[in-house]
Amino acid sequence: MVLGTSSGAGKSLMTAALCRVLLRRGDCPLPFKGQNMSLNAWVDGDGGEMAYSQAMQAWAAGLEPCCAMNPVLLKPQGDSTSEVILNGRPAGIARAETYYQDWFRPGWQAIRRGLAQLEHGHPTGRLVLEGAGSPVEMNLQPRDLTNLRLAQFLRARCLLVADIERGGVFAQIVGTLSLLRPVERPLIRGILINRFRGRRELFDNGRRWLEERTGVPVLGVMPWLNDLFPPEDSLDLLERRRHKPEADLEIAVLRLPSLSNFSDLDPLEAEPWVRLRWVRPGEPLGQPDAVLLPGSKRTLADLAQLRQAGLDRALQRFAAAGGAVFGLCGGLQMLGVELDDPEGSDGDGADRQPGLGLLPLRTRFTADKLCRQRRCRPLWPPGAAGDLAGFELHRGRSEVLADGVEPLADGEGLGWVKGEVAGTYLHGVFDDGPWRRSWLNRLRQRRGLAPLPLTVLGHHVQREGVLDRLADAFAAHVRWQDLLTDGGDAGSWNNG
């Protein structure tokens, strides 16, 4: 199990690295995070929702993602409430003050079901668990679902990750270990120092001090890595910065208050010729080459925020002048002329709002959620070839109200285009290299720039290379074999 001294210590990536090195060893690693809080979701082959970070870990393990790897997913929706997803399916709404009272038992049952499903499908697999936040949040420990309760239940050997970039790494580690109960302390088999800049030998004195002070071996010092990795939350997304001196296109992305599924934008972030500029409500739109409206957990509330800040008028002026606009999922819904939520499925109560009026669409929200993988043939941009693959994850159905709008793909209800304004419900559309480049080349043509080659592999190939480089660094800098049982045999599954 990979634990962290805090949120953002690097648990997700270290878990992915461990999965990849175990796969190379010939093991069958099974990533698992009992409970995750994230608006970055993935839909598995059975239509179940799970956190994107566990999907990434599954790819690192050479497996297809399945929601059993993340049996409890909490999706924040404001006002101290979250949608609760249990074993891939919506289960209700939780309030922060009563979450553990109302959801602890159902959550633990969902975790047991997820473990049983993985055991049934992979009886010789080795679980690679990821914790959440800090394992010693004293006010939460009695109802802990995903850290030390799970570690004790499975007798997991734990690696404690601390981020030296944040500062105070010695206090992080010593403080965390000192707050563990006597029955929990033996679970910690090693310490990992993450994001170290400079020569590792400069930390030798620190390593020796930690080992003498805590009695726990420091199994590795991971260097600072400059590769682009999918973040787990929007704060990490906004904090990461890539220096792109060769970028000649700027795409403004509206930073919605309830931004979701921002992993859709990772392929654009990875394009060296593209610079993404995040625009919050209240900030000027400027004159970008295109504006992108990403997904939203609360489409109507975010649309109201854009309108209050005047971004709706700025976007309408931009489109009227011929500017390119693209909407993803909730962003697509905002581009329409009307959004109707008679049952309050998208927010706190019944609501009806005018949309931005850039596409002749009406969206009606209902209680049911559409979650499924899709494959379709693109009909736009001209020249895009091959199949598009991704998934739908949304409430609300959109219908076309007028002529003059064309389908983006041959899949029913997946997206529409009118002039330079387009949108789709297909998450992952930018993963397809030729389609992404076809869209970017429309922007480049307007600027008189040379087109980019369409003979480019999908983003999943680039992601595999990143995971391999991550695993190479992990294998070179971490004594991960010390976490294995004597003889390297897989541990027991259900010991509770």
User: What residues are annotated to the active site?
Assistant: 329, 427
Tokens at residue 29, please? 């690693």
Q: Is residue 232 within 8 Å of residue 7, measured between CB atoms? A: no
Cβ atoms within 10 Å, residue 250: 15
Side chain identity at 311, as an amino acid letter? L
Side chain identity at 100, as an amino acid letter? Y
Residue 382 burial class via C-beta count within 10 angstroms: exposed 0-12, middle 13-18, buried 19 and up: exposed
Instruction: In whole angstroms, give the CA distance from residue 467 to residue 339.
Output: 40
Angle made by CA atoms 473, 478, 480, in degrees to the nearest 5:
115
Q: Is residue 291 within 8 Å of residue 331, measured between CB atoms? A: no
Cβ atoms within 10 Å, residue 49: 23
Q: Is residue 15 within 8 Å of residue 130, measured between CB atoms? A: yes
Helix (H, G, I), strand (E, B) or coil at 448: coil
Helix (H, G, I), strand (E, B) or coil at 420: coil
DSSP state of 451: P
**Non-local CB neighbours of 322 within 8 Å, separated by 6+ positions:** 419, 420
Alpha-carbon dihedral angle through residues 301, 306, 308, 313, given to the nearest 10 degrees: -140
CA 456 to chain centre: 24
Instruction: In whole angstroms, give the CA distance from residue 490 to residue 442.
Output: 52
Instruction: In whole angstroms, give the CA distance from residue 424 to residue 415.
Output: 4
Instruction: In whole angstroms, give the CA distance from residue 230 to residue 12.
Output: 10
Where are the strands (E) in 197-271, listed by range?
218-223, 249-254, 259-260
The candidate with the shortest Cα–Cα distance to 67, out of 339, 327, 362, 373, is 373
Q: What is the total residue count of the chain?
A: 496
